Structure 1
Amino acid sequence: MFKNHKDNKVSQDLINSNNIIGKGSTFNGNIDTYGNLRVEGRIIGNIRSKSKIAVGQSAVIDGNILAQVAELEGEVKGSVEVTDVLILKPTCSISGDIIANKLVVEAGAKFDGKCKMGTAKSKVDFESKPDDKKSPLKAARNG
């Protein structure tokens, strides 16, 4: 009923946090974050963020992405689901399905997969575990 001011500040701090996987770094495993994530290195695993994911030009993601907002310049080998805006920059390359409420594709961006707009989840949920075998597109069709 009543929210504690301290709890509210902690949740704001989580959402405003910034995380970086630097160029030349490799991360194996899934990432769940409330804050922003900038990737310049390589991630082997799925990424979920309640905020923004920025994938730099030198980055390679071997897994699925689920975020509120994403701006992709590098390579993604997996499905991408964005609850708000997905921006594909000219150097972007995606091998997988895309689900986004709004999609911006700049000249030169490439993707190989199905694209569905306006059907993304309304929010990123950490309560359910990601299924490595299902793409977000298949999950959206079945659920």
Structure 2
Amino acid sequence: MFSGKKTASMASETTSQQNTIAKGTVITGDIISEGDFRIEGTIQGNVKTPGKVVIGRTGIINGTLKSANADIEGKFTGKLLLTDTLSLKSSAHVEGEVMVGKLAVEPGANFNATCSMKGAIKDFKNGGAGQQTTTQRPEQRSNPEKDQTT
């Protein structure tokens, strides 16, 4: 009934594996991966992954980072493009251009960047089913009691 053969299922899920760049490691060039990253070393170049990138306290990226989420405790300089959330810890130092869906900043973080939040832009463009909202200063608002002529 049972054969002597054993079949091993080698289902390799690269998205569940985490890549680690250790402290003291310097990489110059572009990195593309399906897995998450933890960076404690230095990357001079671009990083692209559909997952999450964690830049630890000793981690540094100089370049472009494209991912879904990022937690930054170390230093980032360059262009940061995230489809979801950027979380800056109190020890973070970020400079450059940032485009994110959501932003969380702990007190003490250094954030010197131009930042646009894609979620807010998309909602603003829709304008609530085509409705246009305008803001008037108090002196510009019409007063129905004043406007009536008898």
Classify the TM-score, shorter chain. 0.7 to 0.9
Question: Aligned pair 1:110/2:110, yes or no?
Answer: yes
- How many Å separate the matches in 2 of 1:119 and 1:81? 13
The 5 A counterparts of 1:1-143 are 9-10=11-12, 13-118=13-118
| Larger Rg over CA atoms | 2
Instruction: Give unpaired runs (5+ residues) of structure 2.
Output: 1-8, 121-150
> Which structure 1 residue ranges, 4+ long, deviate > 4 Å from structure 2?
none
- Give the alignment's TM-score, normalised by structure 1: 0.73
Structure 1: which amino acid aligns with 2:18? N
Instruction: Give unpaired runs (5+ residues) of structure 1.
Output: 1-5, 121-143
Query: Which structure's relative contact order is higher, taking Cα pairs within 8 Å and 6+ residues apart?
Result: 1
- Give the alignment's TM-score, normalised by structure 2: 0.70
Structure 2: which amino acid aligns with 1:21? I
Native 8 Å contact 2:102 2:119 kept in 1? no
Native 8 Å contact 1:68 1:84 kept in 2? yes
Q: How many residues align?
A: 111
